[in-house]
Amino acid sequence: MSGSIPGQPNNRWRAWCNDHPIGSLALVGVIATQLGTYFGYVFPAVGLPTLPWPMYNGALALGISGPNWNGYFDENWAETLNHASGMFFAGQALHFVNGIVFAILFGLIARHSLPFNKDTNGGNISKGLLYGVIMTIISAGLLVPYAYVAEQGYGFFLFDGPDGWKLPAGILVWHLIYGYFLGALYQPNDD
């Protein structure tokens, strides 16, 4: 039995990450995505807008124009509700594939390229948080305004939307949660 220090991965998990780099990154990607998604749904409790990424991914995958970020539905959404289960499953699948792919990119590329010491727990978490900031820039700068809510006038980085600063802040917090768990959970021994 290998001992563990509270708040740090134990040696058995680190060894498993070394032996199964892609499998461990996929597992960490699922965990980080699920935890981020949970918090995205409860953001209204802290004054931020809800972030239902699976719903938006499903609408995008099925070619359906989505609701605006206030949750109001346009005339196309009445018909969309007839296909809600398909939208949900397509969105969940895409959302988790995204989470796994970005976790693998973190482990194989970003973790070795970003600053901070990857040999320490704090360094790994810092790498994950920085990765979350980079993903926020991509998400809030390009994906959300030009894919998820295209032609709704939200503009670059979403500050022109009805929530002002709250939507970009919510996207940042979501990605920081995701990045935190990537950095905290994926810590192989890099010998």
Q: What pLDDT digit, counting tens, does each position of 48-94 carry?
A: 988 888 888 887 777 765 554 444 445 555 566 666 777 788 889 99
The DSSP letter of residue 170 is H
Let me know the angle formed at the C-alpha of 90 by 85 and 94, rounded to the nearest 5 degrees. 150
**pLDDT at residue 142 in the model:** 82
* Residue 4 confidence class, pLDDT cut points 50, 70, 90: low
Q: Smallest Cα–Cα separation from 136: which of 158, 121, 154, 153?
A: 158
The span from the CA of 159 to the CA of 149, in Å, is 13
Domain ranges of the chain: 16-185
In this structure, the number of other CB atoms found within 10 A of the CB of residue 28 comes to: 25
Residue 120 has pLDDT above 90, yes or no: no
Q: What pLDDT digit, counting tens, does each position of 141-184 carry?
A: 888 777 776 666 676 777 777 777 888 899 999 999 999 999 99
